Structure 1
Amino acid sequence: MLKEEICPDKWRFKWRSGFFSRLIRIFALILIALLFLGGFVLALEKGTSRQLVRILAQQSFPFQVILLEGMPGYSMPEREYLHEVRSQGLTMGGFLLTGVNVADPRTYFLSYFPPTEGPMWMGWNYNPADPEFEGEIPELEEIPIPLPPVEEEEPPLPLADEVLVGIYHTHNAESYAGEGDGERNKNGEGEIIEIGQVLKEALISGGIGAVQARDHHELDEFNTSYSRSINTARTLMKNYPSMKLLLDIHRDGLPKGMPKATVNIDGREVARVMIVIGQVNPNWEVNEAIAHELMAIAEEMYPGFFVPRITYASEARYNQHLMDGALLLEIGSQLNTFEEGKGAAEILGKVITQWLKTTHLSPE
């Protein structure tokens, strides 16, 4: 009688139900931890951990968010900011573990239907050794670009022996969506071409001869872009044999919902620049050495301007086999604004000018 009063059946039921709910929560946490570890190990084996390293290297840890989370009263004015940080954390975590971006439904079925064209930011997740979608190199063909008929013979190229930098754009439709505009231009005249123009003008203003090819290479087939741009690169080399740098200018692509990367230089927010090296090239280490020299000069002049780690593509070449000094540069991402990209191009021009004056134009 006394035992039943002290521990009635309904109390036993509540205790058992509470025990089982706690057990289920513990089991769920263990399962999530195992999935996380399994995904991380798989990423290391497949090479997709580079995406993790590259993205995390560009982020700053929001310690202030942890403090605000523990002070509800003080954090009320910052609720919108806290919500944004939480959303970005969820987006980044889900993308790195699964390749799915919760903010973009197009990514839900990519395991079954890999993309043949945009959104191209998924390159790192599905093609870690070829993030810019060059394709199978042995199968690459140099596709000629149709040229308009020339009615009369063109005059000799001016100052051909003074040009030190050539600029072109394999993915000419890339644009910046940081202000709500589209990520790509359907007509092929992406904002990345204007970024190349800004870079060329910055070099010329610094006394460096530079040219830009504005050819379209994507046309109707994105995955054969490099088969077309190689013709442009070779034409630049033929017309301007004095070139020391041949730059393929892109903008990077990241999942929606992730924070963009900028750096403050002289009171102005500009996009950061990342260098990509294709390793299917017997002399790729020469390009790597040039990249390190550029990054070292930039770090002295404008700390934080370059992403500190070079991105390596072990199964691609990106036309970099054509000459020493051929580099692929990612000026910001689609998350940046056009103005941030222009600011980065101006700074990049100053860095390249300093490098050329130090290495190739020093007085004898």
Structure 2
Amino acid sequence: MKSINTAVETNKIIRFFQDLGTLTRIYLLLSFITFSVVFIIGALMHLQNKISIAPLSTINGTAATVPTTVFLDMMTTQIPVLEEAPTSTLSQKNISKFLFQILSGINPNNPKSLVALAIPGMERETPSLLYGGDAASSISPVEYNPPANVFQQGEIPSTTEESPPPVASEPTPINQLDENKGSKSVFIYHSHNRESWIPELTKVTNPDLAFDATKNVTLLGKRMKESFDKLGISATHSNKDYPSSVKDFTYPKSYQYSKLTVKEAFAANPKLSYLFDIHRDSQGRSKTTVTINKKDYAQIYFVVGEKNPNWEKNMEFAKKIHDKINEKYPGISRGIYGKNSNGNGEYNQSFSPNSSLIEIGGVENTLVESYRTIDILVEIIADVLKDAEKV
């Protein structure tokens, strides 16, 4: 009986449309299509406002992920002189792989990337070059999680007492700011406070084990604060040791721990304006060192957290420092990179538009080389602060 009633109703609807004139039917059809288009566009605009677009989907991030050979092959199609290239990357197979990786985040040549998307903390995406480097030859910053037992008591013998940390000879002179230029407060901290360097540790040759309870990146933060103090710039430094102070410490949660440190700093001084999270990279010496005037310096990476809704402002802040430091000391900064990992991707940078994560050198640099870079970094940041005060 139910099916009979449904058939009757359907027949009524069909007869109704048949009774309508041709123009009326066209009008109703166009009205329905217009309504559908407007609805779909409205829904897409609503989703666009809700979803934070990462730089990877913009020209900044995407262009940096395209191999140089692809650009060369594209140019070959328009410049006959370049047709001597022996092979072409613009094959259907290569283009399909590239598009698949851009859209899905899965590397077809690396099956582990599929697993990494499903397991929090395992993702190791390649940072996208946002500014200041050559996409063709850029060397992205690298971070590896240390073994789980490396922070257990006794696993990291302190070497500071046996060999005190050296200081950089002939520190770079820094121009003094005016006395009234110290109103902006600087906060320096370290999410990975035990990151150390192989040349400064005894009996350590494995980069994954280059962590130390006392001889670590907190020394760079201390040097940074002292340099700001000499300029009359208000600076605070946290050398908090998370492995020993946090119950059930786990390395992947480092930025959760340091976030509490930043909150405590703001509670103590609401006028904080500039935040610097100082790290060292995990790459070898050849990729993190530059020679200027016959002296070796640890190179710098700036990292921007793309999950921060206002990441563009943090990038602009890093850009000011990058441009000034490379203008005066060419090659010190390797560029600004964006990260949007499942594990972090924000890096406490939503606290201030003047917040930056800075990698100083790598695991095979020396403390002296890192100190040299810190000295000129403070010099440049002081100039940026002075420009901000003028504005």
Query: Who is 1:177 aligned against?
Result: 198
Q: Is the 8 A contact 2:185 2:273 kept in 1?
A: yes
SS at structure 1 position matched to 2:265:
helix
Query: Who is 2:289 aligned against?
Result: 262
Q: Which moved more, 1:222-231 or 1:307-316?
A: 307-316
* Distance change (3 Å), C-alpha of 1:48 and 1:342: farther
Q: Deviations over 1:127-159 (max 9, x none)?
A: 99x97699xxxxxxxxxxxxxxxxxxxxxxxxx
Does residue 1:195 correspond to 2:224, yes or no?
Answer: no
Query: Who is 1:272 aligned against?
Result: 299
Question: Which entry has the higher C-alpha Rg, 1 or 2?
Answer: 2
Q: Is the 8 A contact 1:123 1:131 kept in 2?
A: no
Name the amino acid aligned to 1:340. E
Query: Who is 1:235 aligned against?
Result: 264
So what's the TM-score if we normalise by structure 2?
0.52
SS at structure 2 position matched to 1:327:
strand
In 2, Cα distance between equivalents of 1:261 and 1:127? 18
Displacement after TM superposition at 1:309 (Å)? 3.6
Query: Who is 2:187 aligned against?
Result: 166
In 1, Cα distance between equivalents of 2:323 and 2:255? 29
Query: Who is 2:153 aligned against?
Result: none
Does residue 1:308 correspond to 2:335, yes or no?
Answer: yes
In 2, Cα distance between equivalents of 1:223 and 1:314? 12
SS at structure 1 position matched to 2:286:
coil
In 2, Cα distance between equivalents of 1:261 and 1:357? 29
Query: Who is 1:139 aligned against?
Result: none
Which of 376, 383, 388 is matched with 1:354 structurally? 383
Name the amino acid aligned to 1:231. L
Q: Deviations over 1:189-223 (max 9, x none)?
A: 34211011111122222332211001122453111
Structure 2 residue ranges without an equivalent (≥5): 1-90, 130-140, 146-181
In 2, Cα distance between equivalents of 1:347 and 1:307? 15
SS at structure 1 position matched to 2:350:
coil
So what's the TM-score if we normalise by structure 1?
0.55
Name the amino acid aligned to 2:238. A
* Distance change (3 Å), C-alpha of 1:311 and 1:280: closer
Q: Is the 8 A contact 2:189 2:276 kept in 1?
A: yes
Aligned residues: 244
Does residue 1:226 correspond to 2:226, yes or no?
Answer: no
In 2, Cα distance between equivalents of 1:218 and 1:226? 13
Q: Is the 8 A contact 1:172 1:189 kept in 2?
A: no
Displacement after TM superposition at 1:177 (Å)? 1.8
Which of 323, 331, 342 is matched with 1:296 structurally? 323
Displacement after TM superposition at 1:243 (Å)? 2.3
Displacement after TM superposition at 1:354 (Å)? 0.9
Q: Is the 8 A contact 2:143 2:281 kept in 1?
A: no
Structure 1 residue ranges without an equivalent (≥5): 1-32, 50-96, 101-109, 135-160
SS at structure 1 position matched to 2:187:
strand
Q: Is the 8 A contact 1:131 1:313 kept in 2?
A: no
Query: Who is 1:66 aligned against?
Result: none
SS at structure 2 position matched to 1:214:
coil
In 1, Cα distance between equivalents of 2:231 and 2:293? 18
Which of 207, 232, 255 is matched with 1:207 structurally? 232
In 2, Cα distance between equivalents of 1:176 and 1:40? 36
Name the amino acid aligned to 2:291. N
In 2, Cα distance between equivalents of 1:197 and 1:253? 21
* Distance change (3 Å), C-alpha of 1:301 and 1:126: closer
In 1, Cα distance between equivalents of 2:354 and 2:143? 19
